[in-house]
Every structure is written in structure tokens, then in C-alpha cells.
Amino acid sequence: MEPLTIDKEWITDHLPDDVPSGLIDKYCNFRGYYADGLKVICEGDRGGFSEVYRAKDYTDLQLWEFMYVCRNICLELELKARAENSVKWRYVKAHAEKGKWLYYERDSYVYNTVEDTRLYWFEEYLRMIKPVLPQAQWNKEVKEYTSLINRWYKKAHWSYDCNKMAFVEISDSRPFRSDFDDTEEPAPEQIIGKIS
């Protein structure tokens, strides 16, 4: 087993021009990752190692590394844009009481549901990888991330528009509370006030 080496120059050349170089440096670091042929092994936080990916060939490994870097960059970009994006949601979590979330509601919004910060992260990730991945692999990622964004809905709330490169609402469904309680939220009594 050897430390995982990556082609940082190739990754950088395939990222959009607007990605800050500091983020590229930060996330092109695969410390704790090792290669055993085409297998990627990760050092666990409590010791031991586990296989995290098995590539078909070098190109597949290179694409996996690129996608890994993109996911992490997009997660950080979402954190930086969170306050700006928060105002787009109809319902925003305030705090929890007695095991239930309480919400604020907006009269003016873009998305008619509870704030899900993953939306921006997922959209940026899919935008970033599209020019690099083969079409079939990109389609698979779109399917996976559409499933993830719909995880907490009984009826699909989101679809991915490949032309707009964005998720679009396709229903008025509300997310459910948990795997143990499929009550849709927020119920009227959970809305504690209005915000702008």
C-alpha cells in the first residue's frame, strides 16, 4: 500500500475557472488515503483501514478523485453562500422544542418547502462534474443526487432540469419528520412567526 497520488494539475485544469485556488490546494490533499493497485484505502479515525473505492482502470480512478475534490469544494462553497441562499426558502428552522422543530415562514420565497442547504451544494457539484464525466456516468450522478434531495419526502418534491442545471420543484409535498414519524413538516402549530 502506498499513499494515494493524484494529478493535481489535471484536476485543476478540469475545474471551473471561478474555483478559488486555496480550495483546490485544500481539497487536492488526500492525506490518510492509500492505493493498493486500483483500490483506494482510507485510514479510519479509530485506526484500521477500509476500502472506499475500487477503480476499473486509471481513468476511472482519476474521475473518482476529481469527483471527490468537487464534492468537498462544493460543500465549502455552500457554506460560504448559505446566508445568501437561506432567504430563498419558505420555511426555515428556528429551534426544537419537545422533540419537534419550530419554523419561521416567509411570504416571499423561491422554494416552497423547508430549507435544505444541500440543494446549492448538489447543484454546484453536478454543474462542476458535467463537462468532465462521460454522459452515462453524469446521468447516474444526477439520479443519485435527485434521490438524495428527495430523501425526506414521501412524494418526490424535486426533479433535476438538465437544461437549467438546477433542481426544480415538482410538487407541494413537505418533508417528513424522521424515519420513525412520517408526519409532514411544518404543521401549522410549528410555525412560530414570519420573517422577511
- Classify 96 as helix, strand or coil: strand
On whether the CB atoms of residues 106 and 195 are closer than 8 A, the answer is yes
Q: What is the pLDDT of residues 8-43, one digit of tens each?
A: 999 999 999 999 999 999 999 999 999 999 999 998
| Cell of residue 186, nine digits | 411544518
Beta strand 111-114 pairing with 49-54: unpaired
Q: Which amino acid is at 21?
A: S
pLDDT score, position 44: 81
Query: CB count, 10 Å around CB of 63?
Result: 18
Query: Between β-strands 191-195 and 100-106, what pairing exists: parallel, antiparallel or unpaired?
Result: parallel
pLDDT tens across 41-50, in order? Answer: 998 877 788 9
The verdict on pTM exceeding 0.85 is yes
Averaged pLDDT score across all residues of the chain: 95
Domain ranges of the chain: 2-86+117-174
* Beta pairing, strands 89-97 & 111-114: parallel
Report the C-alpha gap between 192 and 138 in whole angstroms: 41
